[in-house]
Amino acid sequence: MLIGTDLEPVFSDDTFFLALIDQETDTSACTHTDVLEVNGMTVDWTTRLLYWTDARRRTIEVSDYDGNRRTLSVEGLLAPRGIVVDPVGG
């Protein structure tokens, strides 16, 4: 599985295109607005959730593979960069 995002906004100043490429299910892509600077991204394949850090908004957010169910997980962080999940260990 491969995930990625553009370093620069694609559609406007606060919109990023996130792509998820999976050999078994082809390519899934979603667009999120109100995203300023994605620095870290990870996937929990057991729950099919995508997590990312936004350094300028100082948040960690989560959505499903289609970009739905977007949730603010953590806010007020100093400088969130990398992120990792452990789907097996919890």
Q: Would the pTM of this model clear 0.85, i.e. be above it?
A: no
Q: Buried (b) or exposed (e) across 58-81, using 16+ Cβ within 10 A?
A: bbbbbbebebeeeeeeeeeeeebe
The count of structural domains within the chain is 1
pLDDT at 54 over 80: yes
User: Which pLDDT band holds residue 24 (cuts at 50, 70, 90)?
Assistant: low
CA distance 24 to 85: 21
Residue 13: Cβ within 10 Å count: 8
Does any domain span residue 31?
yes
CA distance 16 to 38: 8
Q: Which domain holds residue 34?
A: 2-75
CA distance 61 to 39: 12
Amino acid letter, residue 54: D
Does any domain span residue 10?
yes
Does any domain span residue 29?
yes
What's the pLDDT at 59?
A: 92
